[in-house]
Amino acid sequence: MLKRSVVVVKVPPPGVGYFVREASRGYARALQAVFVEHGVTLPQFFYLRVLWAGDGISQANLCQRVGVDRATASFVLTAMEKQGMVVRRIDPGDRRKTNVFLTALGRRLRTPLLRVANSVNASATRGLAADDVERLKNDLARIIANLQAPGSGA
């Protein structure tokens, strides 16, 4: 009888990416659970957040700031228009561009949604010193920049 040897490969402990993913999933679940009470999805919040900083920007610029492609943005913005959060208008100075504007509803959502986001952030960082939170944000910003750098493999 032929004996077979089994090679056991030790699985390494989770890396940083695992913890970032799990934290992101936790944030998403916590935010979405409350955003739904306001009739807003998590992706819609990302668009609103950019628009609260200054609406009337082009749809292409909005896509870039949110980090999505045009097809995804078009789908989300169409839903937001139907819900009365935004309106899209052709740019009178360049008819090839479409600009996105908040409606009164889109503006009114700012305070309650940011309150929710701040509450989730406070819960997520409970027990961490303010300096540790700042260090974590800086470290994550470095990781993001590293992954966006040419030749990073990303």
The tens digit of pLDDT for each residue in 88-111 reads 999 888 888 899 999 999 999 999
Would you state the pLDDT for residue 154?
57
Question: Nearest Cα to 86, choosing from 126, 30, 46?
Answer: 46
The tens digit of pLDDT for each residue in 70-81 reads 889 999 999 999
Would you state the pLDDT for residue 137?
95
Integer angstrom CA distances of residue 114 from 45, 84, 99:
9, 19, 24
Would you state the pLDDT for residue 3?
73
pTM value is 0.84
Report the b/e string of 11-42 with b at 16+ CB within 10 A.
eeeeeeeeeeeeeeeebeebbeebbeeeebbe
Q: Where are the domains of the chain?
A: 49-117
**113: Cβ–Cβ under 8 A, 6 or more apart, which residues?**
35, 38, 40, 45, 48
* Mean pLDDT by groups of 10 residues along the chain of 154 residues: 79 91 95 94 96 94 93 94 96 89 97 96 95 96 91 68
Question: What's the CATH class of domain 49-117?
Answer: mainly alpha
Q: Which helix (H) or strand (E) holds 118?
A: helix 110-124
Would you state the pLDDT for residue 87?
97
